[in-house]
């Protein structure tokens, strides 16, 4: 993804921090996460059943830096709800409204997704005073997102400046069952008698890149409607709103509201209220664009009328049932309530941005914002598609349909740039043409980042492998695969001795652009050619012989001295932006010796830009779990993949540690893949599924519900020692378990031993012990210092600092190795690669190693004071009996105020 023009930014501190809120019903404790109606999951047979402890109702109750407005969506409509519970609010994370496919084309600019007018506005007046969080006094605020149905509820007590006290409750949701319908309900109880008013508004102020088209009122039906048209593309969006009042004791007076902003429209209901009575005003919204209807306003009005006829309760039942069908295929994390809740929230946000039966894909921020202009990148196929495919292939199919529908543009793009076949653009929007914004001196990815064509081919093939739908493959998948293969065949250049090379490309590591023989790109291109050849064979077509020849000859560089794959020809060991070479193992499944794969991880992970995006550690986790690397690094990678990026009480991802796109669906997709493909070892193949589960002591288990493969539904329940694979429906299913084919039927589950890399025998007495630290940078947790991996690290947030490790039993110890981390210089500016030097060693000026038999009385067994730049200290001391070991950093260097401890080992 490119480096600039991200409209929505999350600050390192946390985001827009406005007032906090509330919820109807139930008095959860402040800041509570309510596991309401959470599914129950059991670990594998032989392990104790465990209730899934993750919350499904997320709550914010007070002002603070960990608040950012959350959003809800139905895959077609998305809306971010501000602290007030309705309407528009600006700020670092503006509360805007989005709709799939609503792209504009401003003059001399690229296509960009335009914001809709805000449709959720439903204001309240007590006499002459209008409700606002900034007028009068607010008490008892609570805002909740219910993940079961996507309803955002805000409740509070408002004392108006005139002294009148009113209890207010707002509920907002987009209907999962009916794509074009959204609902806002205001329930209020005045503690006074007099005149009140409710103002329904479609607010055009935040609508971007649009112009007013039409608007109208019907006071008899309490209805307003309008349409806006996008710049350049001339897509029309129609919006309609109808109001319904319950509990009123006096006639309602309806007035038109004619804002000066011609993209806005409103109506006001005036009524006489009595103290202690409860009133409900429901706003039924219909929305459509000319992408789906030739008469979007007419269509929208019909939708809002239908919604009013069904009523709030009926719509909510349908909405909840539709969400319930999605939640049937979900992930349970056992034994870690916080992590389980983060998984629940991540699934909800990703599902909120797509739906079945459409041909729109998911941008990096989905329908939560128009971050990255709402463009579609490799993020969709590589990071989000696999997370949907395993349990909801119908949602993944929508993303594949988006590419198929724009195949013609990809073919024209290939021809225009001198190649054959289909070359998909780096940034796609409405019509599938390249939409990366200028200047090329900053955003060169459109020229060189061609691996996206391979990423799309892999996603298309993965869908076929999971569905087995040969008719789909013939009609839709094959044209994409064949076009991608023809492109790579025309891009590859023949070298000496039958080798092939791909020059002038940028891999996922965008900090090193325009290189030759880039590892990820070459491997992805070769796999694309093999995939297309396999698809041709399945369909009875003849693939060109050159495809297999080029695939076999494409170079993958190897450094025998370092036992690694250099990222590209001429790579000098400098910093990389994100996972690149490490992705050869997953998702590309490049065969290589396990020792080489481990060396790639250990080499590139420390060199990854700490300011890079959140997905890299998802790959590191899956690779580590697949390799069975001794220790507990796979769990550390899970924590690293989420802790620095989870910014608010509603568990929303930011793109990087310091900001970027929000809510970041790309990071969510990578995070969910850790559970679907990492801990389970699940791989989808043409003739079977492969399962190779592993677990660490930090979790009790993972349960993957309603996995789908070729007409079967099955469940994988990973426990501490055993894993149960159960066939829930469908015919017998072949399952490969560590090289052995087994057959799963509904007659009984398969019981598989769960691998436990954290229990691999070792002389290191501190490996994977429950380490604790006095402080830690986000994601640089204490366990990383003893997880068995030299690639992960503990980094204190202040010095002095200490790392304490309890041993499983008393040991006599006499040796220790302390491995300190390093920092590589960043890229000086866009399109200029990072220099390989100077490399700083992040070690302290002084530290001590201590031992204790009881955790109270400590004995210093080694001291280190040095100005050395070496990374490894090998300590030898007189044998001492210990039940606890502690490393104390007593003094930091000016060049390394936050020392980085990569690994501590202690032996007999």
Which residue, chain included where needed, has tokens 């389980």?
Answer: 340
Q: Which residues contact 620 (CB under 8 A, 6 or more apart)?
A: 579, 582, 601, 605, 633, 637, 640, 791
- The yes-or-no answer on residue 510 being catalytic is yes
- Rounded-to-integer distance, Cα 703 and Cα 701, Å: 7
Beta bridge partner(s), residue 171 = 153, 185
Residue from 278, 269, 200, 197 nearest 239 by CA: 200
Which residue(s) pair with 151 in the sheet? 146
DSSP 8-state class, residue 423: -
On whether the CB atoms of residues 113 and 31 are closer than 8 A, the answer is no
Give the closest residue to 77 by CA, choosing from 307, 237, 210: 237
CA atoms within 13 A of residue 424's CA, in its CB half-sphere: 29
d(CA 428, CA 444): 15
Question: What is the rounded CA–CA span in Å between residue 865 and residue 497?
Answer: 55
Sequence-distant (≥ 6) Cβ neighbours of residue 153 within 8 angstroms: 22, 23, 24, 25, 85, 143, 144, 146, 169, 170, 171
Q: Cα separation of 352 and 356, whole Å?
A: 11
Q: What is the CA radius of gyration of the chain?
A: 29
600 closest CA partner among 612, 610, 588, 611: 588
DSSP per residue, 199-241: EEEEB-TT--SEEEEEEEEETTTTEEEEEEEETTT--EEEEEE
CB 632 within 8 A of CB 768: yes
Give the bridge partners for 854, in sequence order. Answer: none
What are the contacts of 421-424 at 24+ separation with CB within 8 A?
Answer: 421/482, 421/483, 421/484, 421/485, 421/486, 421/487, 421/488, 421/489, 421/490, 422/453, 422/480, 422/483, 422/484, 422/486, 422/487, 423/450, 423/453, 423/487, 424/452, 424/453, 424/456, 424/484
Contact 240, 223 (CB under 8 A): yes
- Give yes or no for a cis peptide into 36 (omega within 30° of 0): no
Residue 743, beta-bridge partner list: 734
- Of 687, 751, 666, nearest in space to 716 by CA: 751
Place of tokens 């969400």: 323
Of 98, 308, 449, 510, the active-site residue reads 510
Cα–Cα dist 626/413, whole Å:
38
* Gap between the Cα atoms of 392 and 378, Å rounded: 19
DSSP 8-class letter at 411: H
| 856 CB neighbour count, 10 Å cutoff | 7
431 to 46, 78, 233, 346, 446: CA distances (angstroms) = 54, 21, 10, 29, 16
Eight-class DSSP state of 438: S
What is the distance between the alpha carbons of residues 350 and 651, in angstroms, rounded to a whole number? 12
CB 347 within 8 A of CB 331: yes
Q: What is the β-pairing status of strands 733-737 and 689-690?
A: parallel
> Greatest CA separation found in the chain?
92
CB 687 within 8 A of CB 734: yes
* Closest by Cα among 860, 825, 855 to 840: 825
For residue 854, what are the CA distances in angstroms to 767, 847, 884? Answer: 19, 21, 7
User: Which stretches within 832-901 are classed as H helix?
Assistant: none
Closest-CA residue to 680 (of 660, 701, 694, 664): 694
Structure tokens at 604: 């590139």
Q: Which residues are known catalytic residues? A: 510
């Amino acid at each position: 993804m490119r480096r600039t023009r991200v409209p929505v930014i999350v600050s390192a501190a946390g985001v827009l921090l406005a007032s906090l809120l509330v919820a109807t019903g139930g008095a959860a404790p402040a800041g509570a996460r309510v596991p309401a109606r959470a599914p129950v999951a059991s670990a594998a047979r032989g392990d104790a059943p465990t209730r899934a402890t993750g919350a499904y109702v997320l709550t914010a109750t007070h002002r603070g830096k960990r608040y950012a407005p959350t959003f809800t969506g139905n895959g077609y409509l998305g809306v971010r709800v501000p602290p007030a519970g309705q309407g528009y609010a600006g700020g670092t994370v503006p509360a805007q409204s989005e709709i799939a496919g609503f792209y504009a084309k401003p003059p001399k600019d690229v296509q960009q997704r335009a914001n809709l007018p805000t449709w959720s506005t439903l204001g309240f007046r007590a006499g002459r005073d209008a409700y606002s969080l900034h007028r009068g006094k607010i008490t008892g605020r609570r805002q909740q997102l219910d993940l079961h149905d996507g309803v955002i509820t805000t409740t509070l007590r408002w004392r108006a400046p005139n002294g009148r006290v009113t209890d207010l409750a707002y509920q907002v949701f987009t209907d999962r069952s009916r794509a074009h319908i959204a609902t806002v309900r205001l329930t209020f109880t005045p503690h006074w008698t007099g005149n009140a008013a409710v103002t329904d508004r479609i607010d055009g102020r935040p609508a971007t890149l649009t112009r007013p088209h039409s608007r109208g009122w019907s006071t008899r039906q309490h209805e307003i409607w309008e349409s806006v048209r996008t710049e350049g593309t001339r897509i029309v969006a129609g919006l309609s709103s109808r109001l319904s009042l319950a509990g009123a004791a006096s006639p309602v007076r309806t007035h038109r509201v004619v804002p000066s902003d011609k993209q806005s429209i409103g109506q006001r209901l005036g009524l006489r209220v009595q103290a202690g009575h409860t009133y409900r005003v429901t706003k039924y919204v219909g929305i459509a664009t000319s992408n789906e209807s030739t008469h979007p306003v007419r269509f929208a009005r019909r939708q809002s009328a239908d919604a009013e006829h069904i009523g709030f309760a009926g719509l909510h039942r349908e909405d909840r049932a539709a969400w319930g069908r999605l939640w049937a295929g979900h992930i349970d994390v056992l034994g870690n309530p916080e992590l389980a809740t983060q998984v629940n929230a991540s699934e909800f946000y990703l599902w909120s941005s797509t739906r079945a039966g459409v041909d729109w894909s998911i941008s990096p921020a989905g329908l939560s914002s128009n971050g990255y202009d709402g463009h579609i990148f490799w993020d969709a196929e590589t990071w989000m598609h696999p997370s949907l495919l395993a349990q909801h292939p119908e949602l993944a199919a929508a993303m594949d349909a988006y590419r198929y529908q724009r195949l013609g543009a990809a073919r024209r793009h290939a021809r225009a740039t001198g190649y054959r076949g289909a070359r998909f653009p780096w940034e796609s929007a409405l019509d599938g043409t390249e939409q990366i914004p200028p200047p090329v001196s900053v955003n060169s990815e459109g020229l060189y980042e061609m691996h996206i064509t391979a990423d799309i081919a892999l996603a298309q093939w993965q869908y076929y492998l999971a569905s087995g739908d040969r008719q789909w493959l013939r009609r839709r998948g094959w044209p994409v695969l064949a076009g991608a293969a023809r492109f790579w065949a025309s891009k590859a250049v023949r070298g000496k001795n039958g080798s092939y090379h791909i020059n002038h490309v940028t891999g996922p590591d965008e900090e090193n652009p325009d290189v030759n023989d880039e590892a990820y790109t070459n491997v992805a291109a070769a796999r694309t050619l093999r995939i297309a050849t396999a698809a041709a064979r399945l369909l009875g077509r003849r693939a060109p012989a050159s495809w297999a020849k080029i695939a076999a000859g494409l170079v993958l560089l190897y450094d025998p001295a370092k036992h690694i794959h250099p990222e590209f020809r001429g790579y000098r060991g400098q910093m990389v932006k994100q996972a690149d070479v490490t992705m050869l193992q997953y998702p590309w499944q490049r065969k290589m010796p396990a020792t080489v794969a481990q060396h790639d991880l250990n080499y590139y992970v420390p060199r990854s830009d700490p300011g890079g995006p959140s997905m890299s550690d998802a790959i590191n986790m899956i690779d580590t779990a697949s390799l069975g690397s001794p220790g507990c690094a796979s769990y550390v990678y899970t924590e690293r993949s989420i802790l620095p990026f989870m910014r608010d009480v509603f568990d929303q991802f930011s793109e990087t540690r310091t900001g970027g796109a929000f809510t970041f669906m790309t990071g969510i997709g990578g995070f969910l893949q850790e559970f679907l493909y990492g801990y389970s070892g699940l791989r989808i193949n043409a003739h079977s599924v492969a399962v190779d589960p592993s677990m660490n002591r930090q979790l009790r288990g993972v349960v993957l519900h309603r996995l789908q493969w070729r007409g079967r539904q099955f469940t994988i329940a990973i426990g501490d020692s055993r894993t149960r694979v159960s066939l829930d429906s469908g015919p017998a299913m072949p399952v490969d378990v560590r090289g052995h084919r087994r057959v799963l039927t509904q007659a009984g589950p398969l019981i598989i031993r769960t691998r436990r890399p954290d229990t691999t025998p070792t002389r290191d007495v501190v490996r994977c012990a429950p380490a604790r630290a006095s402080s830690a940078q986000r994601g640089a947790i204490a366990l990383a210092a003893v997880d068995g991996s030299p690639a992960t690290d503990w980094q204190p947030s202040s010095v002095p600092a200490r790392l304490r490790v309890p041993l499983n039993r008393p040991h006599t110890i006499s040796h220790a190795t302390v491995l300190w981390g390093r920092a590589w210089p960043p890229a000086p500016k866009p399109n200029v690669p990072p220099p390989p030097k100077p490399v700083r060693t992040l070690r302290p000026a002084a530290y001590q190693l201590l031992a204790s038999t009881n955790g109270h009385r400590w004995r210093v067994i080694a001291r280190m004071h040095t100005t050395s730049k070496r990374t490894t200290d090998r300590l030898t001391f007189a044998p001492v009996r210990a039940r606890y070991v502690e490393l104390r950093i007593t003094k930091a260097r000016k060049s390394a105020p936050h020392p980085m401890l990569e690994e501590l080992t202690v032996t007999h």
